[in-house]
């Protein structure tokens, strides 16, 4: 078999959990174990498009792993998180929340090629180990900055303290880090409270035949 599978991942499920569920369903259907792989993960709290490959299609992984992506995110201003998302320890900074005009003034500095430091709680490997595993042990995680590109960054809504954005980014961009950096630029702190991936390359979530993930 050779299949490209599009999944709208729900919040609370890991990407590897989605892979395991699809593998089980296809293996039961085919009567033998089917190889299934992903082309890029989503954080457990995030929702949206996952592209999975089954059978011989797994050979196409290199073609789909480094593609541009589009996200819609909610950034909560005035609070920080140890993980950059709702799963971490949340702290209220007590800082004054910015006006929309102040937000619009700093957005241009995040468009184009920028330097970004991936979060300690990420799947990046440090000396052969996942960074998040080291961070959970309380070990210091030093991840070097990387150059990423933000092609567009639009404000969808701002009702303090929540800023909703849509952004088109290069592969390797962390929206959690983008949210934190926006909070630092505004002087109030921030974290990404909601995240949804709506597009990978030319594959748009609303236009795709989605694979159902039954319980």
The CA-atom distances, in angstroms, between 99 and each of 35, 81, 102, 132 are 50, 22, 5, 34
Smallest Cα–Cα separation from 155: which of 80, 98, 89?
A: 98
Residues with Cβ within 8 Å of residue 14, at least 6 apart in sequence: 41, 44
* Cα–Cα distance, 35 to 53 (Å, whole number): 8
161 prior amide bond cis, ω within 30: yes
Q: What residues are annotated to the active site? A: 43
* Cα–Cα distance, 200 to 191 (Å, whole number): 23
* Cα–Cα distance, 87 to 81 (Å, whole number): 8
* Cα–Cα distance, 190 to 196 (Å, whole number): 17
77 burial type by CB count under 10 A (0-12 exposed, 13-18 middle, 19+ buried): buried
């Amino acid at each position: 078999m050779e299949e490209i599978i599009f999944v709208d991942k729900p919040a609370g499920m890991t990407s590897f959990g989605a892979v395991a569920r699809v593998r089980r369903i296809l293996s039961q259907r085919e009567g033998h174990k089917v190889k299934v792989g992903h082309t890029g993960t989503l954080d457990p709290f995030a929702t949206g498009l996952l592209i999975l490959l089954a059978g011989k299609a797994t050979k196409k992984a290199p073609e789909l792993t480094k593609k541009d992506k589009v996200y819609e995110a909610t950034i909560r201003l005035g609070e920080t998180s140890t993980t950059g998302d709702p799963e971490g320890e949340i702290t209220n900074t007590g800082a004054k929340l910015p006006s929309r005009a102040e937000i619009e003034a700093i957005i241009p500095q995040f468009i184009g090629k920028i330097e970004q430091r991936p979060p300690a709680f990420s799947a990046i490997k440090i000396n052969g180990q996942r960074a998040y595993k080291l961070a959970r042990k309380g070990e210091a995680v030093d991840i070097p900055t990387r150059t990423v590109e933000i092609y567009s960054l639009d404000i969808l809504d701002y009702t303090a303290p929540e800023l909703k954005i849509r952004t088109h980014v290069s592969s390797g961009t962390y929206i959690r880090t983008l949210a934190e950096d926006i909070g630092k630029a505004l002087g109030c702190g921030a974290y990404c409270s909601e995240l949804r991936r709506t597009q990978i390359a030319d594959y748009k979530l609303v236009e795709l035949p989605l694979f159902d993930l039954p319980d």
